[in-house]
Amino acid sequence: MTAPARTPADAPPAPGEVLLRAEGLAVHFPQRGGPPVRAVDGVDLEVRRGETLGLVGESGCGKSTLGLALLRLVEPTAGRIELDGTDVTALGRRELRGLRRRVAMVFQDPYASLDPRQTIGRIVAEPLEVHGLAPGRAARRARVDELLAMVGLDPSFRDRRPHELSGGQRQRVGVARALAGEPELIVCDEPISSLDVSIQAQVLNLLVRLQRELGLTYLFVAHDLAAVQHVSDRVAVMYLGRIVEVGDTARVTGDPAHPYTRALLSAVPVPDPPAERVRRRIVLSGDVPSPAAPPSGCRFRTRCPDAFEPCPHVDPALADLGGGHRAACHLHGVVGTPVDEAGAALLDDPA
Amino acid sequence: MAAEPVLAVDDLRVTIATRRGPARVVNGVSWAVAPGETLAVVGESGSGKSVSVLSLLGLVPRPPATVTGRATFQGQDLVALPEEALRKVRGPGIAMVFQDPMTSLNPVLTVGRQLTEGMEVHLGLDRRAATERAAELLDLVGIPSPRERLASYPHHLSGGMRQRVMIAVALSCEPAVLIADEATTALDVTIQAQIVELIAELQRELGMAVVWITHDLGVVAGIADRVAVMYAGRIVEEGAVDDLYADPRHPYTRGLLASLPVLGDRARGGEGRHPADLAVIPGLPPDPVHLPPGCPFHPRCPVRADERCATEEPPLRPVPGARGPAPHRVATFYDLPPEDRR
């Protein structure tokens, strides 16, 4: 409503250096008496320094597991993660502590992620102790007050416990704790979805302000496309363990290249009754297939309104459509890994 | 509203005894819904939107709750009805779909049994006819191989399927009114779109009245005929969906709509390359045990244009120029200048 006018100096983000890179990342969970659940199944992803990369997808697509795997809070079963050029997939226990200082996490449910028996002061001080920051009681206390102030909480919150706080205040504590280790990258996993509508905007504004002030990089994992679009420079769309589309926010939300992204965007209700009445929704049929037995070829083909001949036979590659916009869909050319002989014959450019 | 209302709620009040004192959860709510019409009751958690509807069906235990007011349904006052009689209303008269299908479906009964039980009791069908109808209903709500699904248990089904089963159960007794309490909140947007479409289709077919209770102003825009916005147990604004969204007149409604990031709006354009701040409503909703005097929104209100805001409860009254049998109404002492959001 009160958006200040854009000044000519407001340039779109320069393509920054890569802070975090995942290559062929997979997280498979073994299942008793059955094939493993392929929660994350071959993900290539780059997060650039200073940007917000939105990661969207529906429940069960693997987006939260991917976020956890980047911090090695769940162990990847294959692939490689680099932070600033250093391979973190091979780090030992002691070195992992350094990783978790540089990459922090804000969780969805501030009710579940804060220890109910601890005071807010203890919760925020814990990462300081773990990482040996602000040594000494007085210094630590001053730093806790500073962190609370950064997230808009009065120092008096130090002596309260989580149950005395509202949902929005608890999420602020979760953010203060994430900031304690002075991270470069924060993985925000559904940070506003458990909050009331009028509180969501407060927390989104806080995250944006902190990024501006501290030069943070965010991976913003959420199912709420409107919120993701608001905060993100780039967006990655995930379906059944794979990234199916990634690119600048304006490109992905304004001119989506993957039929799944199109369906997802068309399903988001907009608070505008006349627009809602004339809108054509792409209603997908059926449910998401089990990640233990994904369909052959393109994983979206069983629900895709545009599926055609090569889709069951060729696993589509995330192909560049120009300007860093990438999509894994044969509508833009049949490229990828054939799953059978029929697939090999269908490739656009059989090498 | 053209037709006679099928359900009319008048001055409903619900107070719940707590250790900290009486919590005034619903404070004088009135609305009505006609056959074929969709009313959306919108509010945040603690606004009283769910309790106001649950209490109509005797689903809020008394005590600790005290319920006063009237709710007229088919010539009876639901608030005064004993449990025995209410049981006959729930299902065939007014059916409900809840947010979490796992808590409202019985985990130890098959899907088929949960569908046939109500039909045998309320519609007097025999087992065979009820089973036949149950399969039809599953088909109607878009469940593949409905006949085989009758033997499934709820845990065999995905979240979207369970929600559809619950809708089938709710529809099994052909209710006059369907109440959907955050029925799609836990679902993904693509499944939500399926469920919303499904309920609208069934409504056209069966002529049900539908009451959607939700916090999601986006969903409401696409499905409601009329909207009532609740805050601290009261309706602070109501009207036809177009009027209310195009020209919201209550500072709370305006604040809520302004705080939503909207898909398609290029909201970026703040400082440097960062997005502009979203508008926020400062503070928190009031504690129902300690409601502020005056307008319940006044402690958070950016307007407060009348000295009575802090001392008197503003009554719901038509906005200037409002017409028709269900005019746009707002609970303020003053008139905000019109705001064209289009």
What are the tens digits of pLDDT across the range A48-91? 999 999 999 988 889 989 999 998 999 999 999 999 888 988 88
CB contact under 8 A, B190 and A274: no
Nearest CA to CA, how far is A94 from chain B (Å)? Answer: 36
Cβ-contact B46, B233 below 8 angstroms: no
Nearest-CB residue to B270 (from A4, A253, A267): A4
The answer for A 175-204 residues in CB contact with B (under 8 A) is 196-202, 204
Nearest CA to CA, how far is B260 from chain A (Å)? Answer: 7
Nearest-CB residue to A4 (from B144, B193, B276): B276
Asked if the model's pLDDT at residue A174 lies above 90, the reply is: yes
In this predicted model, what pLDDT tens digit does every residue of A235-278 receive, in sequence order? 999 999 999 999 999 999 999 999 999 999 988 888 889 888 88
ipTM tops 0.95 = no
Which pLDDT score, from 0 to 100, does residue B342 have?
A: 53
Mean pLDDT over the full length of chain B: 87
Nearest CA to CA, how far is B76 from chain A (Å)? Answer: 35
Lowest mean pLDDT across A64-73, A318-327, B62-71, B155-164 = B155-164
Question: CB-based contact (8 Å) between A3 and chain B?
Answer: yes
Nearest CA to CA, how far is B48 from chain A (Å)? Answer: 14
Name the residue among B264, B259, B280 with its Cα closest to residue B215. Answer: B259
Q: Between A and B, how many CB-CB pairs are < 8 A?
A: 161
Nearest CA to CA, how far is A350 from chain B (Å)? Answer: 36
CB contact under 8 A, B188 and A59: yes
Which pLDDT score, from 0 to 100, does residue A259 have?
A: 96
Across residues A22-48, what is the average pLDDT?
Answer: 93
CB contact under 8 A, B342 and A274: yes
Name the residue among B182, B178, B138 with its Cα closest to residue B161. Answer: B138
Nearest-CB residue to A273 (from B44, B221, B276): B221
Which pLDDT score, from 0 to 100, does residue B306 have?
A: 87
Return the SS3 of A216: coil
Which pLDDT score, from 0 to 100, does residue B270 have?
A: 47
Which pLDDT score, from 0 to 100, does residue A350 have?
A: 55
Question: CB-based contact (8 Å) between A8 and chain B?
Answer: no
Nearest-CB residue to B255 (from A198, A225, A277): A198
Question: CB-based contact (8 Å) between A73 and chain B?
Answer: no
Q: How many CB atoms lie within 10 A of CB B318?
A: 13
Which residues make beta-bridge pairs with B21?
Answer: B18
Asked if the model's pLDDT at residue A92 lies above 80, the reply is: yes
Cβ-contact B116, B155 below 8 angstroms: no
Q: What span, in angstroms and rounded, lies between the C-alpha atoms of B279 and B269?
A: 14
At B224, the pLDDT band (50, 70, 90 cuts) reads very high
Q: What span, in angstroms and rounded, lies between the C-alpha atoms of A293 and A290?
A: 5
CB contact under 8 A, B263 and A4: no
Higher pLDDT, B338 or B315: B315
Cβ-contact A191, A200 below 8 angstroms: no
Residue B120 CA, chain-centre distance (Å), reads: 28
CB contact under 8 A, B189 and A166: no
Nearest CA to CA, how far is A118 from chain B (Å)? Answer: 24
Question: CB-based contact (8 Å) between A108 and chain B?
Answer: no
Burial string for A181-197 (b: 16+ CB within 10 Å, else e) reads bebbbbbbbbbbebbbb
CB contact under 8 A, A226 and B161: no
Which pLDDT score, from 0 to 100, does residue A12 have?
A: 43
Asked if the model's pLDDT at residue A10 lies above 60, the reply is: no
Q: How many CB atoms lie within 10 A of CB B311?
A: 11
Residues of A whose CB is below 8 A from B242: 273-274
Nearest CA to CA, how far is A47 from chain B (Å)? Answer: 17
CB contact under 8 A, A269 and B275: no
Q: What span, in angstroms and rounded, lies between the C-alpha atoms of A81 and A76?
A: 9
Is cis: bond before A110, omega within 30 of 0?
no
The values of phi and psi at residue A196, to 5°, are -70, 155
Question: CB-based contact (8 Å) between A156 and chain B?
Answer: no
Residues of B whose CB is below 8 A from A199: 284
Between strands B234-240 and B38-42, the pairing is unpaired
Rounded to 10 deg, the angle between the B111-123 and B127-140 helix axes is: 120
Fold annotation for A18-113+183-254: Rossmann fold (3.40.50)
DSSP A348: S
Which residues make beta-bridge pairs with B41?
Answer: B213, B228
Across residues A129-142, what is the average pLDDT?
Answer: 91
Q: What span, in angstroms and rounded, lies between the C-alpha atoms of B137 and B134?
A: 5
Nearest CA to CA, how far is B314 from chain A (Å)? Answer: 22
Return the SS3 of A96: helix
CB contact under 8 A, A229 and B271: no
Which pLDDT score, from 0 to 100, does residue A193 have?
A: 83
CB contact under 8 A, B194 and A204: no
> Dihedral, CA atoms, A172, A123, A81, A253, nearest 10 degrees?
-10
Name the residue among A214, A184, A187, A216 with its Cα closest to residue A45. Answer: A187
Averaging pLDDT over each range in A58-67, B172-181, B232-241, which range is the top one?
A: B232-241
Cβ-contact B332, B249 below 8 angstroms: yes
Across residues B184-209, what is the average pLDDT?
Answer: 82
User: Which tokens go with A1?
Assistant: 């409503």
DSSP B28: E
Q: What span, in angstroms and rounded, lies between the C-alpha atoms of B171 and B95?
A: 7
Q: What span, in angstroms and rounded, lies between the C-alpha atoms of A246 and A252?
A: 7
Nearest-CB residue to A271 (from B144, B218, B285): B218
The answer for A 225-254 residues in CB contact with B (under 8 A) is 225-227, 229-231, 233, 249-250, 253
Asked if the model's pLDDT at residue B269 lies above 50, the reply is: no
The answer for A 33-62 residues in CB contact with B (under 8 A) is 58-59
Kindly state the percentage of chain A with pLDDT values over 90.
62
Between strands A242-248 and A326-327, the pairing is antiparallel
Unique residue bearing structure tokens 């008269």: B93
Lowest mean pLDDT across A260-274, B33-47, B185-199 = B185-199
Unique residue bearing structure tokens 């649950």: B54
Which pLDDT score, from 0 to 100, does residue A150 have?
A: 92
Dihedral sign (CA B323, B328, B331, B332): negative
Unique residue bearing structure tokens 């602000």: A134
In this predicted model, what pLDDT tens digit does every residue of B88-111 receive, in sequence order? 888 889 998 887 766 778 888 999
Residues of A whose CB is below 8 A from B264: 253, 270
In this predicted model, what pLDDT tens digit does every residue of B53-82 receive, in sequence order? 889 988 888 889 999 999 999 889 999 999
Which pLDDT score, from 0 to 100, does residue B163 have?
A: 82
Which pLDDT score, from 0 to 100, does residue A5 have?
A: 39
What is the CA angle A13-A81-A247, rounded to 5? 30
Residues of B whose CB is below 8 A from A6: 269
Which pLDDT score, from 0 to 100, does residue B216 have?
A: 87
CA distances for A118 relative to A158, A164, B7, angstroms: 10, 12, 49
Dihedral sign (CA A253, A319, A24, A182): negative
Residue A55 CA, chain-centre distance (Å), reads: 4
Asked if the model's pLDDT at residue B304 lies above 90, the reply is: no
Asked if the model's pLDDT at residue B341 lies above 70, the reply is: no
At B317, the pLDDT band (50, 70, 90 cuts) reads very high
Lowest mean pLDDT across A150-164, B78-92, B261-275 = B261-275
Which pLDDT score, from 0 to 100, does residue A306 have?
A: 94
Whole-model pTM: value is 0.85
Which pLDDT score, from 0 to 100, does residue A98 have?
A: 85
CA distances for A332 relative to A237, A282, A322, A349, B222, angstroms: 17, 20, 12, 13, 33
